[in-house]
Structure 1
Amino acid sequence: MNILNIRLITIVIAVLLSSVAQAKNDKQDKPLPPGLEKKVERGGELPPGWQKKLHRGEILDLDLYHYGIKRPGKKDDIYEWVEIESDTVKIIKNTREIVEILTR
């Protein structure tokens, strides 16, 4: 194999790996189901099952992040607190990874 073939194979592998990572991120940022979205828009609350979907180490769904009330910490802090219904979730700002869940 010459150098050109090796570079081409390396590029193809890199593109495939990046598309797999992007597909994983797309699944995490999926929207709320239409019925729940309408209910939230009208001021309703999320059903109890949605709170059970919050687990340490997982990425907080983008819609739940926007739905929640943000309580930022210190200016240079990497964490942010988000109130979602009766739970307060501590997340990493840049990744929305759930670090801690406090339940009232």
Structure 2
Amino acid sequence: MLKSLTSVLVAIALAVPATTVLAKPDKGGDLPPGLQKKVERGGELPPGWKKKLRPGYVLEDEIYRHAVIVKPVDSRGLVTVRIEGELVRLMHATHEIVDILSH
């Protein structure tokens, strides 16, 4: 009984790390080159960027460049910005989203 229990535990211990290796990478990278050029020419951001707005997410520099500061940096280092109609409060130094004020 002890031998079979040990075998099961070893199999589980070996299988768990394998699942993280097989996981798909995060798609939170920079904009593709074609969209990057469109944005640089004054075009709008792709619609998928709004899906990334959640507390804890670090706002990409390309998206932050389109932000309009609504409330300047306060004593806690927070800034409130508007990005294409969305109000977002984030850490000024890291661009980490603290709160979504409108959706």
Per the normalisation by structure 2, the TM-score is: 0.60
Q: Percent identity?
A: 45
Q: What amino acid is the match of 1:99?
A: V
Runs of 4+ in 1 over 6 A off after TM superposition: none
* Partners of 2:73 and 2:92 within 8 A in 1: no
CA RMSD of aligned residues (A): 2.3
Aligned length in residues: 77
Distance between the aligned counterparts of 1:56 and 1:99, measured in 2?
A: 5
1:85 aligns with 2:84: yes
Aligned partner letter, 2:102: T
Q: For structure 2, which runs of at least 5 residues remain unmatched after alignment?
A: 1-27
Change (3 A) 1:35 1:99: same
Structure 1: tracts of 5 or more residues without a match: 1-27
Structure showing the higher helix proportion among its residues: 1
**Structure number with larger C-alpha Rg:** 2
SS in 2 for 1:88: strand
Q: TM-score, structure 1 length as denominator?
A: 0.60
